[in-house]
Amino acid sequence: MDVKAIEIIQEATQLFQRYGIKSISMEELARHLGVSKKTLYQYFSDKNELVDKTVMEMIKKRTCAFRDLYAEGLNALEEMFKVYKVANEMVKEHNPGLEFDLQRFYPSIFKKVKDLHRQNMLQSTLSNLEKGKTEGYYRQNFDSAIIAKLHVLRIENLMHTDLITADEIHSDHFFKEVFKYHLYAVISNKGREYVRIHYPEFLNNE
């Protein structure tokens, strides 16, 4: 990708995450970049293409962060705890306004993003569950495919319900409880002992 196109996408990413997509016009983006609107159209045919490329780069960045994590050769529990920390930071950075604009004004892009995110989360969760079973850190007597789908469904619904406030979703306590709910559902006695030794804060007061 052209260096200038990358610069435009980077600026668009910051503005979309801060203000949402709808409120940032091509004119506004050009002003922030210090270029003419004509320059923008040399790299992107319209705002729809810019939004698509920008959102896909955001997904690519997140995917790379998790791919690097999975390449570290960690055991299933180490992997799960690292995913928890990375996901917690991502949730804190989440802007509901951006997602709302995407769903309302760019439904085809929204669907593509949702499908990619779901596919990646489902695949990585299933892989982790199977690894944990092989290593003995997770129980053997559960259906990995079903548990992976339930986990993904729970995470997706957390971001789209009025039962839970935005403050709750962004709080460390709330996200920790969601994580513990999944953790305790799958770990074996061996896994619990590993957590007790390496992550004692998750077993305090129990």
Average pLDDT, the chain: 91
Query: pLDDT digits over 34-47, tens only?
Result: 999 999 999 999 99
* Chain region(s) in the chain for CATH 1.10.10.60: 1-65
Look at residues 78, 63, 180, 169 and name the one whose alpha carbon lies nearest to residue 124. 63
- Over residues 188-197, the pLDDT tens digits come to 999 999 999 9
Tell me where in the chain the CATH 1.10.357 domain(s) lie.
Answer: 75-206
Phi, psi of 54 (to 5 degrees): -65, -45
Q: Which CATH number fits domain 1-65: 1.10.10.10, 1.10.10.60, 2.60.40.2470, 3.50.50.60?
A: 1.10.10.60
The one-letter amino acid at 6: I
Specify the CATH architecture of the domain 75-206: Orthogonal Bundle (1.10)
Q: Give 114-140 pLDDT, tens digit per residue.
A: 999 999 999 999 999 999 999 999 999
